[in-house]
Structure formats: C-alpha cells, structure tokens
Structure 1
Amino acid sequence: MSAASALVMDANTGQVLFARNAHQPRPIASTTKIMTALVAIECGKLYRLATVSPHAAGVEGSSVYLTAGEKLTLEELIYGALMHSGNDACVAIAEHVAGREEVFVNFMNYKAHRLGARNTNFCNTNGLPHDRHLSSAYDLALITRYALKNPVFSRIVATKTHSIAGAKGKRILSNTNKMLWSYQGADGVKTGTTHAAGKCLVSSATRDGRRLIAVVLHSDDRWGESIRLLNYGIEEYANRVVAGKGEAFAAVTIENGVKRSLPVTVDRDVVVTVPVNQGDKIEQNVLLEREVAAPVVPGQEVGKLEVLVEGERVAAAKLITMEGTAELPYHRLLWRQLYSKL
C-alpha cells in the first residue's frame, strides 16, 4: 500500500478493521469539506439565500465559479462544496453562516474536539495548504461516521450529478468521487488533492446493511487502495448482535419487592464487528447489582455490559429493568420474613 496513512472502519460499530499510521497528523486537502458541510448543515438553514462576496468569489483553486453578488441557497452551496469541491462555495458558506470564515473555522474545530478528533486542527474551510491545517485518517473516519448519520449530508455525498443555480443558467455538477460509478454500494464521501496532501480519499460503501468507511491519505492509487480496504472490511469481517434492546438479557434479584426478580435488558442494541474466519472472539463482562431494593421503576439502571473482541473493549451498554415493582406492604414483608425462617 502506497498511502502514507490508511484506515477502514465499520460505520455501525465504529471499530477499526485495518489501520496504518492512522493517528498521524497530515495535510488533508479538500477532505476538509466534510466538516465544513457538517457544520453548515447543523448550524444553518438550508433554504436561506446566501449572497456571494467578492472575497468568496475570488478564492483560488477548485471552484464552482461563483460571481460576486449572486445568490444561492445554503444547500446549493453545500452541493457545490461536497460534489465539485468548490473552494469558493466553502468560503461563501462560512460567511453566510458565521459572518467571517475565521469564526466558522472555530465552529469546525469545536465540533472536531467534541467528536474526539484529537489530531485535527482546521485553519480554513476548504483545505488549501496551511502548515497547521492537519488531521489524521482516524479523525477523518470519526468525523465522517458522525456526518453520515445526518440524512442531508448522506444524501449529498451519494449524489452523482446535480444542478444548482448559476449567474448565467444552471451549473451542472458531477461528483469528483469516481467510486460512486465504479464500486458496488459506494455512497460517499469526498476527494482531496494538493501537493502537500497528495491524493486523498474518504470513501464509504454499504452492502447487506453494513456501512464501511475507508480513508487513504497521500496515496499513489487512491481508488484502487480504497477498493481494497473496503473489500477487506466486507469480506473478512461481519457484524454480530450481542444483545438487543427490549430483549431479556439477564435478571436481577429484588429486595423487599412484590416481585422477587425482574428481567433486565440493554438500553441499546449492542452490535460488534468480528473476523469471519477466526471464530467469535467475543467476551462479555456483565456487571449487575447483586440485589436491588424495591421500589423499582421500568428502565432503572442496574448494571453495565462490556463487550471485548480479541481482548479489546469495543462496545458497552447500560443494563436496565424491563419492568417495575412496588415495595411489599409491611404486613406482607413480615409474613415473608417469618415464612423464610420456617
């Protein structure tokens, strides 16, 4: 593999299936626009018209050829940024949402920090070269995993062709991500190229209900290497349901309750990714209270489930009661105590 950094992640579980220099901070070129679009979608109104400033219209590099004074909706600008990698669209987005690009970049860095992207620092909205504008393969996958949960973002990055308003008629956009045409199940995400960053690609694909995210940075063959990473994740790994929300997982003993025990479930579906040809290397650590005092309400937390794959903690969930129970009346409590001594 030629990529300086590479990674493939299961988008459902967040587990990393392959990594190479995944936490190394590197220039990331236009893959920056994943965060630009995410912040715009979360902070702006898609239908609002943005007026393109002379500054935005004059931004160097890849462009959707905006002209000063023209008006486009925020959604149209996001299409231009994600599909056609418009540097000008990114600055127009930032100025519309936050007034100045510098303020918008602060939003981007705050969001990255909140998502746990520890090796990421944005200095602009489009990925133009800057010594301190860096991220990592892992951080990009982390950000992308979150972004793909947003239906607007997910729809735009999966779009092959689209038209938006133009000063002299419609602009026809064709997605720079060739994977959308060449790889089964491909549904995103973003290309990036500068001299410092090399050829980069964050890609995603969904097959049989599983979505995978691949990242290659500074690659000599970003399409081929991304395909190999996605194939590896699809062919060599599978998802397993360890526990389902609403299904009885265990039981907890109740002290002084009308019911002596209550069924317990997990507060969310617990799904993990495991190698397909090495057997299920799944371990479960169940931390359950030995006895819970009545009264108990449905949904009360009584423990925790931790799941390990090949010794690594990959998932966790709260254990909660599926039912409730009242405390025994005093006379019945006395009777139970007497009966237990007979």
Structure 2
Amino acid sequence: MDHHDEKFAPETVDEQIELHLQQLPIASHTSLDTRMLKDLQQIAEQDVQRIAQVRARLARYAVENGEKRKPIDLREYQAETAPPLHSGSQPRTRKAPGARRRLVTVLTGLVAVLLLVSMLTVFARIKPQQEQTHPKIQQQTSTVVAKPVLHGSNAFLLDADKGTVLVDVNGHTRVSAAHFAKYMVAITALENADPNQMITIDQASLDAVPKGLSTAQLVAGDQIPLQFLLYGLLLPSGNDAAGVIARAVGGNSQNFVAMMNEEAHQLQLNDTHFSSPYAISSADNYTSAADLASMMRYGLQLEIFSEDITGTIWTLQASAYNHAYVWGNANPPLGSEPGVESGHDKEIGYHAIFTPQSNGHLLIGVELNAPSPEALNADVSTILHSVKP
C-alpha cells in the first residue's frame, strides 16, 4: 500500500473502521472480521500516541542541536503531496527544507513499521482463538511407553492427571463395545439432560430390549429421577434402563445413538462407534482399550457418574412414584486394585478397568481378553509394576 493513501494515515484509520462498523448488521459484529477491525481500531489509537511521542522526541533532538523548529504535523506533509482529504481543504504550497524532508521520511517509515507491527499483533490475538481446543477434548502426551508381556491381548494405562500414556499393548486395536455401551449412555445422558429429570418407565421401551440381555427389572409406570436410574444402568448393566434413558433423552433410540457417537467424536475416541444403546454385538459397535481409558477419564470428572460406577449395591426405596429396587454391581472391581469393574464377557474375555493412585496421580488402566481370572490379576500387577515411580 502507498503511504500517501489517505486510508493509510493513522489519523483516519479509526474513522474508516467506525464507518465500516456502522454499516454492518448487529448480528455480524461477532464475526472474525469485525473482531479484527475492533482490534485494529484500538491499536491504531495506540499507534497515534506512539507517533506523537516519536515526533516530540525528534523535536527535542532538533532543538538540542540548534534547529528550533516546531514538531512536524504529518497531516501538513500529506497535504503537500496528496489530494486533500476533504473537498473544502486547500493544498499547502510551502516547501520543507532538506532536513525536514529527511525527518518526514523517517517518520513515514516509522508509521509503516508501526502499522505492520499492529497487524501482526491482531493476527497473534486471533490465531489462539482459532486454535482453541474443544473443552471435551483431553490431549494425551506420550513419553516412554511400556509394552510389558501380558496374558491378555489388549492393555492400556493412562495417567489421568497428566494425560500421559504409560502402557500401551495393542491399545488401539478395536474390540466389541457391547459391554461398554452403558458408560457412553450414562455420559451422554448427563451431558444432555438434567440429572433430576423425572423419567417415566414406559412399556414400549421395556419391550424393545433384546432378549437375553441383563436388566434392572424396571416396572412400567414407575417414575424415577435420571440420577437414580443411572444406578440401574451401571450396576446391574440394565439394558432396560438404557432403553428408557435413550427414549427420554433422545426421543428414540436412533437419535440417542447419534448423540452417543457425537459425544465419542468430541472426546476424540477415534477407535469407537456405537450402533445401539444396548449391550449387543455388531460390526459397527466397537471401541479400544485406549478409548475406554479416555472415556473413563472424562466420565470420572462427572460427579454422578463417578459415584454410580464405584458402588457395589444401591437401594431405591419404594414411594408413591416407584417400586422398591435393589441393584447390585454385576461386575465388581478387582479385589487387589480399586477400579470400575472386572469380569468376563464372551467377546472380550476376562477384563478389568482399574483406577489406582500412584505418587498422588490417578491412573486409569484397561486390560482385555485375559484367559482367566488369575491371568487377569497377574497382568494388572505387571502393568502397574512396569511404570517407573
């Protein structure tokens, strides 16, 4: 841009910006361009102050060297060399001496440098806004990852506080997500509904549960708050509770499954996809040990989720709204380590999700496809001992 252009002068930048803002609709004031213009307006004002300080310093320097002249007004210089900014103004005709011309050249260069720095400052302010990470995305950082020899086929250990991967044995190999769908059902429900919401157990949802799956023995017509219904989902792996929650929160199972997959996407669970809220097997219902650890890392930050999965038995007293229920944990944690669950499934073998503490840090470990309970316990011990204190 030519420095003689009137829009380049700091004195008129704020006028040009203000004019542009007045022409914009109110809704567009939040756009990236408008934010940039507002930043430019603020920086342009600062630049005018800086230039005034430079002119004053140069003027003092000239006085100290015997050249008693007034500080140069950039607007006067512009009037000598460029068309008038307003139709009523008249161009000046007097000529500046050589020294004054040199001083003006220096000042003009300073203006250009200051405006360039201002633009870079604006982009520096805007770029972090563009690179913001979604609040649900929890980055994992890897250092030296241990790969111990295990009986199970898949294992993963994550430092939940640092996001550091400590152990990875086929951690991103996809396995059936059927048994673990309940955890994403709970997370999705808590993220999209009020935990105190009263949910009516409808007969249609109970009838829709595939035959042979575990249930919480819900009774049609009962009204139960969502936060209590989650105990029926997580402790006994109640597929009837999963169906009722899906209908109440998503409108129907199909919509709710889409919400589950969107939640997985936001959490960057790239090895995970759900096809149903129920614990059923299908080709497009999968996850991985690494994704399970990340899922637990996020879920444990939700107070109700954390309380519901760490219990062993929970009782809902009978009331005018509901029958009495006693829900026990069908997959209690390992006896040797605190955790979420351990158990056996025909598709993922003997498995465990364990959450020990190490040096004040919460660790989240996953072991899948161990051939026996004894092998599972041995693997968990090996995984934890492979981590350097």
TM range (shorter): 0.5 to 0.7
Alignment of 1:1-342 (within 5 A): 1-58=150-207, 59=209, 60=211, 61-164=213-316, 169-179=323-333, 182-184=335-337, 186=338, 188-190=339-341, 194-206=345-357, 209-221=360-372, 225=376, 228-229=379-380, 232-233=383-384, 235-237=385-387, 275-276=388-389
Residues in 1 aligned to 2:378 and 2:364: alpha-carbon distance in whole angstroms: 11
Q: Distance in 2 between matches of 1:192 and 1:103?
A: 30
**Alpha-carbon distance between aligned partners in 2 of 1:131 and 1:82, rounded to the nearest angstrom:** 24
Are 1:31 and 1:202, in contact at CA under 8 Å, matched by a contact in 2? no
DSSP 3-state at the match of 1:172: strand
The separation in 1 between residues aligned to 2:224 and 2:315, in whole angstroms, is: 12
- Alpha-carbon deviation of 1:142? 0.9
Could you tell me which residue of structure 1 aligns to residue 89 of structure 2? none
Distance 1:136 1:75, change over 3 A: same
Secondary structure at the aligned position of 1:84 is classed as: coil
Query: Could you tell me which residue of structure 2 aligns to residue 290 of structure 1?
Result: none
The aligned amino acid for 2:272 is T
Are the aligned partners of 2:202 and 2:221 in contact in 1 as well (CA < 8 Å)? Answer: yes
Aligned partners of 2:342 and 2:353 also within 8 Å: yes
Q: Gapped runs of 5+ residues in structure 2?
A: 1-149
Q: Deviations over 1:259-316 (max 9, x none)?
A: xxxxxxxxxxxxxxxx33xxxxxxxxxxxxxxxxxxxxxxxxxxxxxxxxxxxxxxxx
1:16 is displaced (CA, Å) by: 1.9
Q: What is the one-letter code of the residue matched to 2:248?
A: H
RMSD: 2.4
Distance in 2 between the 1:55 and 1:26 partners?
31
> More deviation in 9-18 or 99-108?
9-18
User: Structure 1 residues 127 and 230 mapped into 2: Cα distance closer, same or farther (>3 Å)?
Assistant: farther
Counterpart code for 1:220: P
- How many residues are paired up? 235
TM-score using structure 1 length = 0.62
Structure 1, unaligned runs of 5 or more: 238-274, 277-342
Which amino acid is 1:225 matched to? L
C-alpha distance in 2 between matches for 1:168 and 1:40: 21
Residue 192 of structure 1: how far off its partner (Å): 6.8
Question: C-alpha displacement at 1:194, in angstroms?
Answer: 4.4
8 Å CA contact 2:350–2:376 kept in 1: the answer is no
Give the deviation of 1:90 after TM superposition.
0.7
Kindly state the Cα deviation for residue 169 of structure 1 after the two structures are TM-superposed: 4.0
Aligned partners of 1:77 and 1:89 also within 8 Å: yes
Q: CA deviation at 1:210?
A: 2.1
User: 1-side partners of 2:165 and 2:373: how far apart?
Assistant: 19
Amino acid at match of 2:307: R
Q: In 2 relative to 1, CA 169–222 (structure 1 residues): closer, same or farther, beyond 3 Å? A: same
The alignment's TM-score, normalised by the length of structure 2, stands at 0.55
- Report the structure, 1 or 2, having the larger helix content: 2
Alpha-carbon distance in 2 for matches of 1:113, 1:34: 15
Report the CA distance shift for 1:215/1:226 in structure 2 as closer, same or farther (over 3 A): farther
Distance 1:31 1:222 in 2: 19
Shift of 1:140: 0.9
